[in-house]
Amino acid sequence: MATEYKLKGLTSIDLKNGQKQEAEIEGIENGKVLLAKVKDELHAMSANCTHYGAPLKLGVITGEGRITSCFNVATGDVEDAPALDPLAKFEIIQKDGAVYIKGDESFMKAGRRPLNIKCSAQGEEKVVIIGRCV
Ligand code: FES
């Protein structure tokens, strides 16, 4: 269920295109969110890479809205390896001199959203997937 959470110490968001800032989420232990502005639009997403947890506040945002380690700022989707899980995205609400994000508490705590992939066998054929981890 989507719930609103206040961002600690923020009264407004003053970012220019390509800028980002990390903020603490009140009421979520160790909860953090990354705010970013791309193409005049504000976005709130998980604060750390879903691969090994690198802080995305240290990442680079391209003009097209891609943040290293290669996530789409607008959707949170993975755009390149090695991360597998997408970032969680949250709605931003600015009201009464404060900034809130709205979203699923479990996604805020996990710092990611689960992949929504379903796969089921259609016949008797077998498939082998070969790869290596780097
Ligand atoms: S921590 Fe982001 S790609 Fe490894």
Domains of the chain: 2-110 (2.102.10.10)
pLDDT of 129: 78
Q: What value does the CA radius of gyration of the chain take, rounded to a whole number of Å?
A: 17
Residue type, 122: Q
Q: How far apart are CA 48 and CA 88, in angstroms?
A: 10
54 lines ligand 1 (CB under 6 A): yes
CB 34, CB 25: distance < 8 Å: no
pLDDT tens figures, 41-68: 999 999 999 999 999 999 999 999 999 9
Q: Which two tokens stand for residue 94?
A: 């600015």
Q: Does 82 contact ligand 1 (Cβ within 6 A)?
A: yes
> Which residue's alpha carbon is at the smallest distance from atom 1 of ligand 1?
52
Read off the pTM.
Answer: 0.84
**Ligand 1 atom at minimum distance from 49 CA:** 2
Task: Return d(Cα 28, Cα 114) in angstroms, integer.
Answer: 19
Residue 134 beta carbon below 6 angstroms from any ligand 1 atom: no
